Amino acid sequence: MIHKPSAGDTSELKWFKTSYSDSSSGNDCVEVATTPGTVHVRDSKNVTLPPFTVTFAAWAEFVSYASKN
């Protein structure tokens, strides 16, 4: 899986909690936002940190692996 720090302004992204975030605390989750060709990923506990991006293929591989384990 290839990942890299996000560059540029991500304030306009539409973030949502992933369905794979299952925590008793609504603040402990992974949030994602999509743009053409990339999936941006961030920790909802600290949105001031820069998100990282992965390709759609890498995200699909991760989700597939996570759903099997």
More confident residue, 68 or 3: 68
pTM of whole model > 0.85?
no
Region 47-67: mean pLDDT is 90
Q: How far apart are CA 60 and CA 9, in angstroms?
A: 24
pLDDT band at 38 (very low <50, low <70, confident <90, very high): very high
Answer whether residue 57 shows pLDDT above 90: yes
The SS3 assignment for 19 reads coil
